[in-house]
Each structure stands twice: as structure tokens, then as C-alpha cells.
Amino acid sequence: MDTVTRSAKAAFLREDLGPCACQRRIRSTLDVIANKWAVPVLIELVRAEGEPLRFTRLARAIPGITQKELTKQLREMEAAGLVRRKVYPVVPPKVEYTLTELGWSLDPVLDALARWAATYGNVVADNQAQFMARKNADGADPQEPAPPSR
């Protein structure tokens, strides 16, 4: 990415709000969407293309998630306004989940992250492996300066 494009895109981060306010907004957003199960749940709801999903269908679509974890994740997303929960007054209980307009606004963000991961995921993994190899070879953290000799 050239410097001009980088500067134009980074301008949003330098709003008059100041760095602390911008960091707080980003951090609070990441707290909602960057935990272990948020992205898989969001992806399944996006893939449903607006069709309401029942709890069991979501649970089956996300390998490894427990009922407790899915319940917790859906509650957090509902509290944040990303997911709409509709309960039907029937026995057995019927509950469906869909994305709200706010939840749908994350679709391009998820798409951008998926594209970035497809492009650079292997680079990141290679860098991490090289870092660990250097660390293991040296017996010390490659980023830490050597202790002073006495």
C-alpha cells in the first residue's frame, strides 16, 4: 500500500477524538467481536442470508462449541445489538436468531478480515515460526537485549 493511500485510510484513526477515545472505541468493538466464538457465530448468521436460525442449527454448524458457550455468545451479541432473538410461545420452546442491521454492518468487516487472512495468514504463521525458531536457538527472546556482562 502506498503512503498516500495509507495516510488517507489512517486519517479516520486521527479524528479529533484523540488517540485514547479512538482506541477505546476499537477496543470495545473488539471485545464484542474478537473472542473465540463471535466470528464463527457471525459467519453462520451471515451465511444464512437473513434466514432465522434456530439454536440447534447454529450449534451444529459451529464445530466444538458447547451449548453453554453458544448461549453466552448469543446473549453478548444480543446485548450489543448485533443479534435479534425471537422467542415463540410454543412447547417445546422455539427460539430463532438473526442479525440486526448493526450486525449486518459487520459483513464487510468480516469479508475484509477473511481476505486479509487469505492473503497474509501464511506470512504471519511463517513469521511466528521463525520467531520461535530464533527464540529456541538462542534460548532467549530475540526481541530482548542481551543482559549486560559483568
Rounded mean pLDDT, 83-87: 98
E strands present in 3-147: 53-54, 83-88, 94-99
Which string of DSSP letters, residue by residue, matches 34-62?
SSTTHHHHHHHHHHTTT--EEHHHHHHHS
Question: Between β-strands 94-99 and 83-88, what pairing exists: parallel, antiparallel or unpaired?
Answer: antiparallel
Q: What is the pLDDT of residue 71?
A: 97
Domains of the chain, by residue range, sit at 12-100, 106-141
Over residues 37-81, the pLDDT tens digits come to 999 999 999 999 999 999 999 999 999 999 999 999 999 999 999
Mean pLDDT (whole number) for 87-103: 96
Instruction: Assess whether pLDDT exceeds 50 at residue 85.
Output: yes
Predicted local distance difference test score (pLDDT) of residue 4: 47
The predicted pLDDT at position 15 comes to 61
Percent of the chain past pLDDT 90, that is, above it, reads: 67
- Give the burial string for 8-43 (b: 16+ CB within 10 Å, else e): eeeeeeeeeeeeeeeeeeeeeeeeebeeebbebbbe
* C-alpha to C-alpha distances, 132 to 95, 124, 138, nearest whole angstrom: 46, 12, 10
Calculate mean pLDDT across residues 102-107: 96
Whether the pLDDT of residue 99 is over 50: the answer is yes
On the question of pLDDT at 33 being above 70, the answer is yes
Q: Give the residue, 83 or 19, on which the prediction is more confident.
A: 83
12-100 has CATH 1.10.10.10 classification: yes
What are the percentages of helix, strand and coil residues in the chain, rounded to 5?
Answer: 65, 10, 30
pLDDT at 30 over 70: yes
Mean confidence (pLDDT) of the chain:
87
The Cα 29–Cα 33 span in angstroms is: 6
